[in-house]
Amino acid sequence: MASSLPFVLLTAFANHSSGGNPAAVVFLQHDLPPKILQNIAQNLNQPITAFVSTPLGSKNDGTATFGIRWFTVDIEIPICGHGTLAAAKAVFTRHGLVSEKVEVIEFLTVSHGVVTARKVDGGWIEIQLPSTIVEELSLDEKNGLQPMVAKAFGKDSIAVNFIGKGGKGFEHCLMVELDEIENIAASKVDANALVSQDFCYQSLMDSRRIFE
């Protein structure tokens, strides 16, 4: 039997539909298997799709709690900033979902605890994400990864200042700092170039998110 789920398309970090970071927000009526969530994300074909659960209660009149998961078209990711902003906006503006008294939304994540979104002056939304300490990769790891970063940018070589991996809870995330001589804005990134069977660094399998 066919069923439907309400969803909205938004752009974070922008005040118009043609800018910012696009995201889809899907409101779940009940829990669904990850495989189905992945299929929905593929069909919506957005950089990120945030799945928001039904309300999970609240600590007080000013706070509401929801579960949240984030999917790209390829994989589930543990956390997403612009997907959280989009989800918060969708929750705050969806008629009848939360009381007008609610100023704070607590999103319960699968692996990173609570992510908080709150209304601030001027109609803005502020989010608070978990933090980590980035550890620089060894020289061998950096030398193995740097050619793949260059390939992702369609180049033979690229000026990289720093490559680091996240600490606890972010072990599968990488941070790459390119030198200012590189024109990132004019670059078209092929994230698939960052996945290689020849480079045995497990965290790399999720490295496409460094360009999110």
The CA-CA-CA angle for residues 22, 24, 25, to 5°, reads: 135
104 close to 128: Cβ distance less than 8 angstroms: no
Torsion sign over Cα 26, 12, 211, 134: negative
Q: What pLDDT shows up at residue 2?
A: 54
Distance CA 53, CA 40 (A): 15
Q: In the chain, where are the structural domains located?
A: 7-128, 135-211
* 63-81 per-position pLDDT tens digit: 999 999 999 999 998 889 9
Over 90: is that where the pLDDT of 4 sits? Answer: no
Over 60: is that where the pLDDT of 198 sits? Answer: no
Q: Scanning the structure block, which residue is given the tokens 């200012």?
A: 180
Distance CA 166, CA 170 (A): 5
165 close to 171: Cβ distance less than 8 angstroms: yes
Both structure tokens of 128: 């608070």
Mean of pLDDT over the chain:
85
Over 50: is that where the pLDDT of 170 sits? Answer: yes
* 183-194 per-position pLDDT tens digit: 877 778 787 777
Closest Cα partner for 52 from 13, 19, 15, 6?
6
pTM of the model: 0.72
Strand pairing of 160-165 and 174-178? Answer: antiparallel
* 27-54 per-position pLDDT tens digit: 999 999 999 999 999 999 999 999 999 9
- pLDDT band per the 50, 70, 90 thresholds, residue 182: confident
DSSP conformation letters of 33-70: -HHHHHHHHHHHT-S-EEEE-S----SSTTEEEEEEEE
Q: What pLDDT shows up at residue 166?
A: 83
Strand pairing of 49-52 and 160-165? Answer: unpaired
120 close to 133: Cβ distance less than 8 angstroms: no
Q: What pLDDT shows up at residue 200?
A: 38
Residue range 88-111: mean pLDDT, rounded = 93
Asked: is 7-128 a CATH 3.30.2010.30 domain? The reply is: no
Share of the chain above pLDDT 70, in %: 90
